[in-house]
Amino acid sequence: MKKTPSTATIANILVLAFAVLINPLCPLTPYRPSTHPCIPDKVEIRYTRPLSPDSTLQLIRQAKEQLNEMNYYFKVHNVTDEGYNQVARYRTYLLDKVSYLSKVYEDSAQQRVKSKTVHIPAKKRPYIAVKLPYGYWRAGHFYLSPLTGKAIVCDLQGRVVSAFFKADTVVSAIRIDSKGIYRGQMDTLLQARGQGTYEANNGEYHEGFWSDNKPHGFGFHSSPSHSIQVGEWKAGRFLGERMKYTAERIYGIDVSRHQHEKGRKRYAIDWHKVRITSLGTRHNAGGQTFPVSFVYIKSTEGTTIRNRYFLSDYINAKKQGIRVGAYHFFSLKSSATAQANYFVNHTLFRKGDFPPVMDVEPTDGQIKKIGGDDVLMERIRTFMSIVERRTGMRPILYVSQNFIKQHMANASDIKQKYNVWIARYGQYRPDVKLVYWQLSADGRVEGINGPVDINVFNGYQVQYEEFKQMGFYK
């Protein structure tokens, strides 16, 4: 191996010497922090910009819209649900905010806020540091040691962050940008990570866990423009709320001829024994079993199909004190009027029964074939109107969550007028207002052969009793 010339070593030394000359902070150079010769008294101008009447009313309106959405949340949740206490605290904050802003709006004197000048002696100035990548300035001194205490620093996007450090690690921080204020934990790159809150200028609020400046983990989001979202988040996207399956919940099932027929074999339902033993493979109830509080039985489909087991299931379920309802499977091959009349003419409705249900499950291709979403929505309106007029009960619409998102954008009147029963087979409850959630199609019920659709009422006993009396739930 060829020996390295000694001139290389000399060149390296010359480069290092030159670096020390132009950069006194080089690690090879002893560092002596300089002291600022004089710290003058600080003149601070505190100025509060008065809110205009229109701005005040806008803030009040935003807060009240969020409170209205929270009323629904508290109606269908209780203190055992994850996130309930956090939402309750934010609700208290909004109530106080509305009260304060209402007083500001009413008191004309509050609309004329003057600026105020304050002189703070140097000895009373707080020791707020200015954090840099390799040290920090504080009270005229520069330090290379790890920082412990309050400091201001810029993140990678140039935003100013006010933080409390412990050995150079951010313990908590406040970051204000053009869109709002973040308060909480951050990582070494000054990105939101860990627990924190974000209050946006447009009235939106998020509280929970963060990662890489995005909601990630459990949290809740409140907005004046949509319903409150409480549950799991991933990289800023809301996944849904996990339901706790307890004995306080109200569970039900829906059945058809499929629970009676498997090929050539025929099975009876032992309504005396029915009890839910499994909520399905995706829902862990911890070994608990639950009573069946209600059952929906398929009665008709289109204008030619009837469930031969409807009457016997109807009578025997009612004998066991189970609330009963009937549903019609809607077809796109015949008119809504003909199907509504066929359903009513071949179904038993008695006092105390749950509202009838319109089961709508078309494919995208079938919807396109009849003329699109608007045509289908008009058929739904026709069917529901006729059934309501003839039975005296307001029907329930059964659809999937994807159906609502993809096909009901122009059907707010349907969602407002009728209760919705949502099918969503997964870990998370539907992200829409509803009366029932069909959470699985592979549940198990003692007394019934094979898999069974499992449903849960969206609320607790108080709300369920109200629904039984009124037949409508919002």
Would you please indicate which residues are annotated as catalytic (active-site) residues?
A: 254, 361
Residues 6+ apart with CB under 8 A from 307: 256, 257, 297, 298, 299, 300
* Kind plus residue range of the DSSP H or E element containing 309: none
Tell how strand 419-423 and strand 428-429 pair up.
unpaired
Rounded-to-integer distance, Cα 283 and Cα 425, Å: 10
- How many other C-beta atoms lie within 10 A of the C-beta of residue 118? 9
Residues 134 and 125 sit within 8 Å (Cβ to Cβ) = no
Beta bridge partners of 45: 117
Rounded-to-integer distance, Cα 367 and Cα 415, Å: 19
Rounded-to-integer distance, Cα 280 and Cα 266, Å: 23
> What single DSSP character describes residue 431?
S
Rounded-to-integer distance, Cα 425 and Cα 239, Å: 13
Rounded-to-integer distance, Cα 161 and Cα 454, Å: 50
Rounded-to-integer distance, Cα 193 and Cα 117, Å: 37
